[in-house]
Amino acid sequence: MLIPITLLLLGATPPPAVAPVAAPTVAVAWTAPVRVDSYGDLMSAYSQAKADRRAAIKAAGSAKERRELRAKRPATDFLPRFEALGESGDVRGFTWMLDEAKRLGIGKSDRLAHLLDVYGRIVMAPADSKHFAEAMQRIGEEKKLDASQRVSLLKRVLGREDAAGEGRCTAQLFAGSLLFKSDVASDQAMGEQILKELVASESCSNQVKAAEQALLGVSIEVGGTAPDFEGTTIDGKTFNLSDYRGKVVLLDFFGFW
Amino acid sequence: MPHLKTLVERHKNDPFVLIGVNTGDDEDAYREGLEKHGVSWTCAYQGPGKDAIAKLFEVTGYPTYYLIAPNGKILGKGHSGEAFDKTIQKEIDKLKSSAQ
């Protein structure tokens, strides 16, 4: 019998112990409450702020004034509102922090730490967060992180009792696929088990096909098995790439334009 | 395109196929192109605004080639067809010698 993957993961990587929080002994400075906006409203306000700043820089009378205007970053002003959005259950508030890393003034040497920090907040976001599944896919495909960094983020979702639905299924798909492609035999075996569980599950129907493909080693990288497709010629004849198994195939993506 | 015609001609008796996947041409331009370039090999035509197969292979520049082994594994990818001439010959030779 297969051990449910949640238990397996919990056994393999126990959740980090939460450090006890000491009651503050000094008065904490009062901070203004942050209003939570909808993502759309927030984005348009942010775009407007950027446009206003550009216009102001253009209209500035002196170099000094221009410098001062340039030093003010709308991204920094908006950061608390996007963070509040992320914490309130729309993870796009957090992914904005990734997209705007440069505008937030995060230097190249700090980018990786920023990436890990923000993704760390995403994987711990409220379980019913909006756009959680897309964020899981983003982690799974994140080119700036290596496979083991991506897997360990995704595993934190799988280790959560409260994470369910598309987000969990997507995390399972990417964690399984990444592990299955690993060179380490034990990781490969764990990946295979995660993917097989996904194929057999009734709650992750959207991920079944991709999990099957991953188990077959389908990928578009050199060494992977090319994904199959059905093509139709201009005369309406259909064929599959797999019809040509047994032959050497050169696939040519072209346009006459 | 002249290179592809030569390639198909060279391997016409070999276990080799060239398969085209067209993206971005309307039907008239496509038919005209097939005629003009003497395309005799199988090509999937996706139609204007359709690129599902190209997306599947994450094609971002044209042309893009994928060389696929008889077992379905990807041997190489790139933007130059000529670059695969030698590997194609090698794979065909391998296949022929294993069949004997």
Q: Quick one: A98 and A147 in the same domain?
A: no
Q: Is residue A195 part of a domain?
A: yes
| DSSP assignment string, A207-241 | GHHHHHHHHTTB-SSTTSBPPP-EEE-TTS-EEEG
Q: Quick one: A144 and A204 in the same domain?
A: yes
Q: Quick one: A76 and A115 in the same domain?
A: yes
Q: Quick one: A86 and A157 in the same domain?
A: no
Q: Quick one: A140 and A209 in the same domain?
A: yes
Domain boundary among A130, A163, A182: A130
Q: Residue A33: what pLDDT?
A: 66
Domain boundary among A130, A145, A168: A130
Q: Quick one: A42 and A60 in the same domain?
A: yes
Task: Spell A39-51 as b/e; 16+ CB within 10 A means b.
Answer: beebeeebeebee
B53·A242 Cβ contact <8 A: no
Q: Is residue A1 part of a domain?
A: no
Q: Is residue A21 part of a domain?
A: no
Q: Which residues of chain A have pLDDT under 50?
A: 1-3, 6-8, 10-15
Q: Quick one: A118 and A139 in the same domain?
A: no
| Contact status of A30 with chain B (Cβ, < 8 Å) | no
**A228 to chain B nearest CA, in Å?**
9
Q: Quick one: A60 and A125 in the same domain?
A: yes
Q: Quick one: A106 and A162 in the same domain?
A: no
For B62, which residue in chain A has the nearest alpha carbon?
A254
Q: Is residue A144 part of a domain?
A: yes
Name the residue range of residue A42's domain: 37-130
Q: What domains are defined for chain B?
A: 2-91 (3.40.30.10)
- What is the rounded average pLDDT for all residues in chain A? 89
| Contact status of B83 with chain A (Cβ, < 8 Å) | no
A222·B72 Cβ contact <8 A: no
Q: Which of A234, A241, A253 sits opposite B45 (nearest CB)?
A: A234
Q: Is the dihedral of CA A37, A43, A49, A53 positive or negative?
A: positive
Q: Quick one: A100 and A141 in the same domain?
A: no
Contacts of A245 in chain B (CB under 8 A): 70-72
CB A248 within 8 A of CB B16: yes
How far, in Å, CA of B10 to CA of B84, rounded?
Answer: 14
How far, in Å, CA of B27 to CA of A234, rounded?
Answer: 8
What's the Cα-to-Cα distance from A103 to each of A53, A96, A112, A252, rounded to whole Å?
A: 13, 11, 15, 40
Locus of tokens 């993502």: A39
In terms of phi and psi (left: phi > 0; alpha: psi -120 to 50; beta: otherwise), the region of A236 is left
Helix count and strand count (H, E) for chain A? 11, 3
Q: Which of residues 22-61 of B touch A (CB under 8 A)?
A: 22-25, 27, 29-34, 36-37, 42-45, 52-54, 56-59
Q: Is residue A209 part of a domain?
A: yes
Secondary structure of residue B66 in the 3-state scheme: strand
How far, in Å, CA of B4 to CA of A77, rounded?
Answer: 57
B20·A252 Cβ contact <8 A: yes
Q: Residue B58: what pLDDT?
A: 93
Q: Residue A21: what pLDDT?
A: 54
Q: Residue B1: what pLDDT?
A: 75
How far, in Å, CA of A113 to CA of A124, rounded?
Answer: 17
Q: Which residues of chain B have pLDDT under 50?
A: none
Q: Is residue A83 part of a domain?
A: yes
| Contact status of A234 with chain B (Cβ, < 8 Å) | yes
Q: What was the ipTM of the complex prediction?
A: 0.97
How far, in Å, CA of A251 to CA of A108, rounded?
Answer: 39
Q: How many domains does chain A have?
A: 2
For A237, which residue in chain B has the nearest alpha carbon?
B44
Best to test chain A binding among B68, B82, B90, B98 (most A CBs inside 10 Å): B68
How far, in Å, CA of A135 to CA of A138, rounded?
Answer: 5
